[in-house]
Amino acid sequence: MKRQKNKVDGWVVLDKPIGPSSTQALGKVRWLFQAAKGGHGGTLDPLASGVLPIALGEATKLIPFAMDGTKQYEFAVRWGAATATDDLEGSVVATSPSRPAEAAIRAALPSFEGEIEQLPPAFSAIKIDGKRAYELARAGEEVVLQPRKVLIHKLEYLESPDTDTARFRVTCGKGTYVRSLARDLAGALGTVGHVIELRRTRVGKFTLESAISLARLEGFGHSPARFGALAPVETALDDIPVLAVTAEEASALKQGRALRDPRIDRVPAEPIAAFQEGRLVALVASDGNEIRPVRVFNL
């Protein structure tokens, strides 16, 4: 007999461990909450750990907001060896005896800040003719990807535990590949390299400080205590403007109807959050004539 699924709405800020894929972690969280619907805000590779926002129920409608948020990672690079995957998973495809000095590393970092062009790894989830790049690469097929522009807000050198290894922190925008960043940084320093550790510390408003480990969450089982780890749906709306609406207006918005009122000039074209007595009703935007619902929530 199939387990009954429940309507569960909110976010679980998971500290994903090394090992499971993001999809596997999502499946585990959904099973623990017996949630009818779920998704995650930004994939983490199996060899990566850290912040993985899990959206349940109505929170899935805000996944784009989570994925578009600023991200922060801490990572370690092993100099002297390049791999097929730009991380520990792949076989070594090139080596170099060169090891960069700390002064050279620090001097190279500013050129990787701002808007830069980045070639994604062949082993990535980018689709080519309907297939994931990593599926083609693992099948031995040639993978041709185009460079894309990404935004690096800040790239910091942290330490060098030994001459073969350096640790960094990067704050970046959507679509940035840390593996590509490590590969290109090594190339700029006259050597080759690959990522040996990767930990995401922030996705938009979600941080490690508010995250819960999978082990702790599993320890709750199906007990009511697990709901203590559930953040409200609106948590993902980081610094978004808010519009207060009446019960009548909330009802209209939930029915997909637009509003006409004097506040039209104060509502931007970009979505803002409409609340009725502290409850998220919809994301709304103005087209210059009326306030229309963009996304409606059933909370």
List 40's β-bridge partners, or say none: 54
Give me the residue spans of the domains in the chain. 10-69+205-236, 71-195, 242-296
pLDDT < 50 stretches in the chain: 1
Taking domain 242-296, whether its CATH number is 2.30.130.10 is answered by yes
Tell me which architecture the domain covering 10-69+205-236 has in CATH. Answer: 2-Layer Sandwich (3.30)
List 218's β-bridge partners, or say none: none
The yes-or-no answer to whether 71-195 and 242-296 have a common fold is no
Show which residues are catalytic. 45
53 touches 211 (CB < 8 A)? no
What pLDDT was estimated at residue 161? 95
d(CA 213, CA 54): 12
18: Cβ–Cβ under 8 A, 6 or more apart, which residues? Answer: 46, 47, 48, 49
What pLDDT was estimated at residue 142? 60
What pLDDT was estimated at residue 202? 95
Tell me which architecture the domain covering 71-195 has in CATH. Answer: 2-Layer Sandwich (3.30)
What pLDDT was estimated at residue 267? 61
* Eight-class DSSP state of 110: G
Task: Give pLDDT tens digits for 136-169.
Answer: 556 556 656 678 899 999 999 999 999 999 999 9
No. of H helices and E strands in the chain?
A: 7, 19
Report the relative pairing of strands 10-16 and 212-213 from DSSP bridges: parallel
CA geometry: angle at 58 spanning 255 and 209, to 5°?
140
276 touches 37 (CB < 8 A)? no
Output phi, psi for 68, to 5 deg. Answer: -80, -10
